[in-house]
Structure 1
Amino acid sequence: MNIRRLKVADVQGYRELMLQAYELHPEAFTSSASERATLPINWWESRLTSRLDVILGAFVVDEPVGIVGLSLEHRLKARHKATLFGMYVAAAHRQGGLGQQLVQAALDEARRHAFLRLVQLTVTAGNDPAVKLYQRSGFVLYGLEPMAIRVGDEYFDKIHMWLEL
């Protein structure tokens, strides 16, 4: 297993894995598979080349099987914060600690930026395995956003968590 920052050459695998995530777990992501599937490949590439987003992937050989993102804040007054986003591990690679490794890799990346003081994230209420994963990494709950997203006719709350670096 190799965890590294994604490059433009990884764009197809990144796109496919994220579309799988959106399709299989629509309640876990704010974006939907249908809206992201229509985006041109250069949109996906821009995520990988952005100076404010760091997308990390876990690879088996050359195939991405896990993804996590870290978004840096561009506004000066909020520059001390980063957001962990887009966390996903393909079903066949769960239960082996890969999620924990990806979160740790994102936190290691955050610590490389001396100006960062905290990392925040949201997780869908009721997704207990994800909440426990983040808690094991040191994140603590600080709020609940009711009806944060809607999938079909169903609404899902989002738990807000943060970690001081």
Structure 2
Amino acid sequence: MLIEQLRPVHAGDYRALMLEAYALHPEAFSSSVAERAALPLSWWQSRLSEEPLAQERVLGGFQDDRLAGVAGLSFESREKLRHKATLFGMYVPDRFRQQGLGRRLVQAVLAQAGARPGVRLVQLTVTQGNHAARALYESCGFVSYGVEPFAVAAGPAYVSKIHMWCNIGFPDTRLA
């Protein structure tokens, strides 16, 4: 599988994959399928900017020229927070799982973050109870630092989110 940065030309495939993710796993995402489906294609294209210092970057895994998984990376722009980036929108459909794609996407996101001047850590949230995703993130170097109760309303229920971070540039994490 090939991992590459998505470009505006991929917006239709990216949109379709993410709408599938929101529909099948509403507890895993803070956006709903209805609100994202209502967005114009131009919104999805803007998320896939090719500018070197774009605020967001989305990586895709391709199998036989077919988009098989995605992971996004959002960079902080405020002066005091520029050392942080956030992994968002990670999704690999069932039909492409158990092939190492999720791990390769996370590793590619960490490499992209590490290549950005000044970025020292990547953070994310994962739904409490999603043991497979949490294990993947932990195996890639993420550690949890807290739980946000009732973080996302998924229909009539609420789910909690585990906050995690990965050190990609601090020489001594005991200073944190």
Could you state the TM-score of these two structures normalised by the residue count of structure 1?
A: 0.98
Partner Cα distance (2:131, 2:42) in 1? 35
- Distance (whole Å) between structure 2 residues aligned to residue 5 and residue 57 of structure 1: 6
State the percentage of identical aligned residues. Answer: 54
1:114 Cα deviation from its structure 2 partner = 2.6
Which ranges in structure 2 are unaligned for 5 or more consecutive residues?
169-176
* Higher alpha-carbon deviation: 133-142 or 57-66: 57-66
CA distance in 1, matches of 2:5, 2:100: 19
Amino acid in structure 2 at the alignment position of 1:132: A
Distance 1:106 1:88 in 2: 13
Tell me the distance in 2 between the aligned counterparts of 1:131 and 1:40: 32
- Residue 45 of structure 1 is matched in structure 2 by 45
Q: Match of 1:133?
A: 136
Distance in 1 between residues matched to 2:75 and 2:117, nearest whole Å:
12
Q: Deviations over 1:14-67 (max 9, x none)?
A: 000000000000000000101100100101111111711010000112211100
Q: Does 1:75 align with 2:85?
A: no
Give 1:117's aligned amino acid: R
In structure 2, what is the Cα distance between the partners aligned to 1:52 and 1:84?
12
Give the whole-Å Cα distance in 2 for the aligned partners of 1:7 and 1:117. Answer: 25
Report what 2:34 is aligned to: 34
Distance 1:123 1:151 in 2: 14
Select the residue among 91, 100, 104 that pairs with 2:103.
100
Deviation string, structure 1 residues 115-149 (Cα, Å, up to 9, x no partner): 00100000000000000000000000000000000
Gaps of 5+ in 1: none
What is the DSSP-based 3-state SS (H/G/I as helix, E as strand, rest coil) of the residue aligned with 1:87?
A: strand
Identify the range of structure 1 (23-32 vs 57-66) with the bigger mean alpha-carbon deviation: 57-66
Query: Which sits farther off after the overlay, 16-25 or 48-57?
Result: 48-57
Aligned residues: 165
- The amino acid that maps onto 2:4 is R
Residue 24 of structure 1 corresponds to 24
Task: Give the Cα–Cα distance (whole angstroms) in 1 for the partners of residues 12 and 68 of structure 2.
Answer: 13
TM-score (norm 2): 0.92
2:172 aligns with none
**Matched letter for residue 125 of structure 1:** Q
RMSD between superposed Cα atoms in Å: 0.8
